[in-house]
Amino acid sequence: MTSVLDVKNLSRAFGGLQAVRDVSFEVQEGEILGIIGPNGSGKSTLFNCILGQLVPDEGEVRVDGQVVTGLRPSELNRRGVSRTFQLLQVFPQLSVRENLILAGQEHRGSRLRRLFGPRDAGLTPDANRMIDFFRLGHLAEEKAGGLSYGQQKLLDAAMAFMAGPRLVLLDEPAGGVNLTMLASLKERLQAINAETRATFVVIEHNMEFVMSLCTRILVLAEGRLIAAGTPGEIRSNPDVIEAYLGH
């Protein structure tokens, strides 16, 4: 069986600074993989290289066995890879439903069909289902900019699932979210993972959140992969404790 995401020997430098060095890992279907590491350990650079936001200096990224290194983010998205951002990125002047339709429309039919077809690209039922799933039902017509931070975060996550992705990369999904909302976010993510078999890769600072959400965890320090294992193994790994507390 080929893995959903296969990263091989990825490296990327900025000037003299080696942000990511020789990182390799695989993610299997249905897995929820966490990536942790201290600030500046290269997590975001790694993410951006996988997602086509940056072009890696060396190495290869495969999705479902196909090389996608250097593809533009939109091409990658249309191949079933979606993401959320560390900072909120919804479209404030569009309604909640419009945001969701936007997130799905480029996967529906050809561009020409969309021009002549219905205004919602036939996505209203899907959007409504997603709204219900993330319990935003009473807010469907509201402008996204008028939602609370936590609600926008839910919408942001919901947008990543609109197109039925194979692989979802979540960049600090728990950042700035209060405890109640956090529990509901985690529970929704696990539910959608169980339902669709979509594969997740999560970057997160909130240890408790990562440990309880993910099935496997990678640890980055100074651009290198220093440990991998189940949450339990990571918790007791002396290298990890060293990396976090050492310097």
Partner 1 sequence: MAEILQLVIAGLATGAIYALAAIGFTLLWQTSQTINFAQGEFVMLPAFFALVAMNWFGWPFWLSCLVAILVSVLLLGMVFKVIVVDPMLKQGVLPLVISTIALGLLLREGAKDFYSAEAQPFPYIFPDRQVSVLGVQLSLSQIGVLLIALAVIAALQLFLSRTRTGRQMQATAQNPTVARILGVPVERMILYTFIINAALAAMASLLISPIYLAKFSNGEHLGLAAFVAAIVGGFNQVRGAIAGGLLVGVIDNLAAAYVSTGYRQSVPLILLVLFILFRPQGLLGRREERAV
Partner 2 sequence: MSRSALRWSLGLVLLGLVLVFVPVNLTDYGLPYPGLKRYGTYIMTLWLVTAVAAMGVNLIVGYSGQETLAQAAFLGIGAYTTALLTKAGIPFGLAFAASGLLAFVVGILLGIPALRVQKHYLAFVTLAFAVMAWLVFRNEQWLTGGVMGLSGIKRPVVFGINTRPFLTFYWFVLAVTAILTFCMWWMLRSPWGRAFTALRENPVRAESLGIDVRLYKLLTFAIGSAYGGFAGALYAPLVEFIDPSPFALSQSFLYLLMVVVGGAGSFLGPFVGAAIAVLLPEWLRFTETYYLLIYAFLVMLLMAFCPGGIVALVLRLKAALLPKAGKVQP
Q: How far apart are CA 244 and CA 228, in angstroms?
A: 15
Q: Which is nearer to partner 2, 117 or 229 (CB)?
A: 117
> Two tokens at 163?
């197109």
Q: Which does 115 bind (CB under 5 to 8 A by kind): partner 2, partner 1, none?
A: partner 2
Residue from 62, 78, 186, 224 binding partner 2 (CB under 8 A):
78
Q: How far apart are CA 230 and CA 123, in angstroms?
A: 38
Letters for 35-54 (x = contact with partner 2 by CB under 8 A, - = none) are ----------------x-x-
Q: Identify which of 205, 181, 167, 191 has the alpha carbon closest to the alpha carbon of residue 63.
A: 167
Q: Is 143 a binder of partner 2 (CB under 8 A)?
A: no
Residue from 27, 61, 96, 121 binding partner 2 (CB under 8 A):
121
Q: Containing H/E element for 45? A: helix 43-50
Q: Count the residues of the shown chain that bind partner 2, applying the rule CB under 8 A.
A: 33
- Per-residue HEC secondary structure of 189-235 comes to HHHHHHHHCCEEEEECCCHHHHHHHCCEEEEEECCEEEEEECHHHHH
Q: Which is nearer to partner 2, 9 or 93 (CB)?
A: 93
Letters for 147-166 (x = contact with partner 2 by CB under 8 A, - = none) are ------------x---x---
Which residues here bind partner 1, judged by CB under 8 A?
A: 53-55, 72-73
- Give the Å distances, CA to CA, from 99 to 19, 40, 94, 168, 213: 34, 32, 6, 18, 26
Q: Is 83 a binder of partner 2 (CB under 8 A)?
A: yes
Q: How far is the CB of 54 from partner 1 (least distance, A)?
A: 7
Q: Is 66 a binder of partner 2 (CB under 8 A)?
A: no
168-207 binders of partner 2 (CB under 8 A): none
Q: How far apart are CA 160 and CA 163, in angstroms?
A: 7
Q: How far is the CB of 68 from partner 1 (least distance, A)?
A: 15
Cβ-based neighbours of 41, under 8 Å, separated by 6 or more: 220, 221, 222, 223, 243
Q: Which residue has the tokens 């966490």?
A: 34
Q: Is 5 a binder of partner 2 (CB under 8 A)?
A: no
CA atoms 7, 222, 53, 29: torsion sign? positive
Q: Which residues of this chain interact with partner 2, rule CB under 8 A?
A: 51, 53, 72-75, 77-78, 82-83, 85, 89, 91, 93-94, 98, 101-103, 105-108, 111, 114-117, 119-121, 159, 163
